[in-house]
Every structure is written in structure tokens, then in C-alpha cells.
Amino acid sequence: MKDFELTILGSNSALPAYGRFPTSQILRYDNELMLIDCGEGTQMRMSHYKIKRNKISVIFISHHHGDHLYGLPGVITSMNHSGRVLPLKVIGPKGIKKYLDVVFEIGEIHLNFDFSVIEIDNDALSIIYENDNIIVKSFPVYHRIPTYGYKFYEKQRPLNIRKECISQYNLSIEEIKLLKSGSNVEREEVTIKFEDCTIGHNSLRTYAYCADSIVNDSLIPIVEGSDLLYFETTYMHDLQVQARERGHATSVEAATLAKKAKVKKLITGHYSSRYKDVQPLVDEAKAVFDNVIMGYDGVVVSL
């Protein structure tokens, strides 16, 4: 099984405070790095946690508020200075290309590597990125401006046939191909299950990232069953009214969503700068949902 892990680079909300930087995360699958949001200080955190920025293949931006975006030009131009040659893709809401075009034009920035931007404007769960190992789908969440969450799906690794099954069932070449594709072989007298005849059919892992958003039950079928769910916990529940007015969630609301969606783990984050100690937010969430991880700068979670 290949490594699949999340590193929190920044866990605070609008302002850096108490040693916490604004939102940014690195999702690593094997040797590929994907950057999720890019608040101020992201490249400083990359240096702190020894993240090799030139291994980042794609950057996902959830929305255009500064605490998720203002570190992006610096990260991209730093890649240029460090001799990057591999292509880079940025994916985000409509307007992200205009933002970067203006910054690059004013700064007379000329990149030495292939660079592309994909703007998304979907109103339902839709595939927006795919490579040999991962499929990524975006979906709208509920904030004050257009904002997207992302769900990362591990792809099934190729299955290998068990040699003893070839002779046991007298499998034809076409039947072997069918079993290796993850499909059963149907015969008149018996069903030959691919799980019994193949090696490598691991349970596929998923990570759901919900950026700034209020909790809405329409998100349940999207994040349902995820191995790891990140959902913002900006406020404690006594500030529920303020949270909703500002397009944010409380720790109790995020935990309630995690419980309803039957995810395996919930990771918290996007803490308001009013909280020097965020343990009470985590405790509130744990009172509702058992498996809560405190998202904090430097925390690494394996899926």
C-alpha cells in the first residue's frame, strides 16, 4: 500500500496568530505532492516541515479570500527561482487565472516551466483532476463567496490473478482479464468472484476537504464514508449565530456532520484568532464524534 498522508501547513483563519498560519495543506500520495489552499506563510511552513515544493504537481484553491490565496504568487515564483522544470497546474474558482495574470504582468514574471490554470464553476460533485493514482472531484460548499471543497479518491491498483485459480476454474484468457478488472465471472453453475481470485484489491482511501463553509446536510452524501474529513471549526458552539452570519461552522456542527456522514476521522482547523488554545474546540467536537484529530500546523495524518 502506498503512502497517503496529509500535512497541515497552516490551521488558523483570517490572521496568523499564536504560532498558527492561515490555511494550507499538503496531501502526499507516494512521491507526489498536492497543495490545498495557500494562505500567507505557506512557503515558510514548507521550509519548516521540509516540503520539497518542486515535487508539487497541482495546487487546489478553494476560494478567493486572502487567507487561502495570498501565499500563492510567492510559492509559484519560488519554484521558478529553484529551477523547476516540471509542469504545474493550479485549479480554483473562476477568477483565479485573472488574479495570477495580473500579478505576473505587474511583476514582469516569466516562468521557466509549463504552467496552466483550470477554473471550475460546477454546481455538483465533478471530476476536475486525474492522474495515475488519484481522482479529484470538486463540489460547492456554503460560504459568502463561491467556494469549493475537494474530494480525493485513491485509484484501484492493478489486480494480479492468483495462479492456483487459473487451474482450479480452468480460466480462459478473457475470464482472467475480467477478474483482473475487478469484475466477477458469471457461469451457469457458479459465480467466480474477483476477490477470491486476485491479489491487491485493497480498500480505496478517500480524503474530503471542506473549506470555509456552514454545515449543510446536502454535503453528507458527498463526504459520506471518507477515511478523513477536514471541516473548518472556526468557532465554539456558543458563537453559532455569528458563525452562520459569517459563513463558517462551529466545532459541534462539524462533528455532527462527521457523525451523520459516518466518516472514519474528522480533522479540525481554520480556528478564529480569538482562541489562543484550541483544545476546547476539539473537546466540543469529541463530545459529539469520537474520532477527532486536532488540526494544527505541523500535524501529519496518515490515511
- Do 86 and 193 fall within a single domain? no
Of the candidates 144, 174, 198, which is a domain's last residue? 198
Q: What are phi and psi of 165, to 5 degrees?
A: -75, -25
Are 114 and 95 in a shared domain?
A: yes
What's the DSSP call for residue 26? E
* Residue type at 141 in one-letter notation: V
For position 182, what pLDDT does the model report? 82
Query: Do 270 and 220 fall into the same domain?
Result: yes
Active-site entry in 37, 67, 212, 227? 67
20 and 124 together in one domain: yes
Domain boundary pick from 198, 226, 251: 198
Pairing state between β 126-130 and 134-140:
antiparallel
Specify whether 140 is located in the same domain as 65: yes
Look at the chain and report how many structural domains it folds into: 2
User: Helices marked H in the chain — which ranges?
Assistant: 42-48, 72-81, 96-106, 163-168, 173-180, 194-197, 220-223, 240-245, 251-261, 279-286
Query: Does 175 lie in the same domain as 28?
Result: no
Q: Enter the pTM of the model.
A: 0.88
Pair 164, 275 in one domain: no
Name which of 26, 77, 70, 72 is nearest 52 in CA terms: 26
Judgement on whether residues 194 and 51 belong to the same structural domain of the protein: no
Spans of the chain below 70 pLDDT: 201-202
Residue 16, SS3 per DSSP: coil
Same domain as 220, residue 280: yes
**Residue 217 designated active-site:** no
176 in the same domain as 46: no
- Kindly state whether residues 187 and 241 are assigned to the same domain: no
Domain that holds residue 176: 160-198
Do 124 and 255 share a domain, yes or no? Answer: yes
The CATH number assigned to the domain holding 101 equals 3.60.15.10
Question: What pLDDT, on the 0 to 100 scale, is given for residue 201?
Answer: 62
Q: Which residues contact 254 (CB under 8 A, 6 or more apart)?
A: 215, 231, 232, 233, 266, 268, 285
